Amino acid sequence: MSIFSDYHLHTHHSGDSEAPMEEMVTKAIGLGLKEMCFTEHMDLDYPTCYDLPPEPFTLDVKSYREEVQKYKEVYKDKISIKFGVEIGMQPVCLKANQRFIKENDFDFVIASIHLIDAQDPYYESFWTKDTVENLYKRYFDITLENIKLFTDFDVLGHLDYMSRYAPEGDHTYSYERFKDQIDEILKYLVENGKGLDFNSKSLKKSPDADPNPSPAIMKRFKELGGSIITFGSDAHYPEGIACGFDKMRDIALSCGFTEYYTFESRTPIAHKL
Ligand SMILES: [Zn+2]
Ligand SMILES: [Zn+2]
């Protein structure tokens, strides 16, 4: 394994995963990883539609912390386990999110946009609300708006992730097409010392797919002075851990990166790519 850490992982503590934490840990050890960071979902004010139970992504942080502590100790000679979170940004839960991060001693915080005007692009219904072009514009707009409001994070989660769920055959999205908006987001991240979650989830479904963000965005981030990137599989079950990391490493190198990062108590630590 060329990259030794997976920094985007979910278990049964996330509303959309049933993975036992210990199975995730033993799988990561088996793959040769030296470090893993769990980043469970915390998406407050998730809409009560989509046939999901109420508050499907409200994290029980106490039981999550206890389980991380347990396996951290059990496997301390084999792997370093970090306590992270993936927090869903929406203006409506800004204060609660700020409080939540302040009150908890996370090693690492990913800030993500999973909802666009309270609609989840994961569901087909989202894509019928407007033209696809307008929906992307809105997504990049609210991404910028939210990272300016909510600043207590380390990396922006899977930028351009909406493209994962675009209607089949739709090719509206490219970095070039939304360049102005994306550049504004990247510049803001660079100026504020924030990084990007380089996310390989789409490669699990199709090895030829682009990661999120796309290589074009990664290249631009580097050109603009960005340096902090973390490698994350966004695995919700053991088989997804570190998926496509060799390919991801090649992409990062070809975009000019020479380092990737892990975190401890919110402090970035650089490693040679
Ligand atoms: Zn996410
Ligand atoms: Zn995730």
Task: Give the model's pLDDT for residue 111.
Answer: 98
- Identity (one letter) of the amino acid at 129? K
What spacing in Å lies between the alpha carbon of 7 and ligand 1's midpoint? 12
What does the pLDDT read at residue 168?
Answer: 86
Going from the Cα of 78 to the center of ligand 2, the distance in angstroms, rounded, reads 24
Question: Which residues fall inside 5 Å of ion ligand 2, going by CB?
Answer: 86, 234
Ligand 1 centroid to Cα of residue 89, in Å, is 11
Least confident of 67-71, 204-208, 239-243: 204-208
Residue 234: predicted pLDDT: 98
Distance in Å, CA 86 to ligand 2 centroid: 6
Condensed to tens digits (0 to 9), the pLDDT of residues 151-181 reads: 999 999 999 999 999 998 898 999 999 999 9
- Answer whether residue 44 shows pLDDT above 70: yes
pLDDT of 53 > 90? The answer is no
What pLDDT does residue 47 have?
86
183-193 pLDDT tens trace: 999 999 999 99
| pLDDT for position 1 | 64
Q: Which ligand is nearest to the CA of 43?
A: 1
| Range 62-82 average pLDDT | 98
The overall average pLDDT reported for the chain is 96
The structure tokens listed for 265 are 């108590």
Q: What angle do CA 122, 221, 218 make, to 5 degrees?
A: 55
Ligand nearest to the CA of 159: 1
- CA-to-CA dists, residue 214 to 98, 192, 210, 245, angstroms: 29, 21, 6, 14
User: pLDDT for 94-123, tens place per residue?
Assistant: 999 999 999 999 999 999 999 999 999 999
The whole-model pTM stands at: 0.97
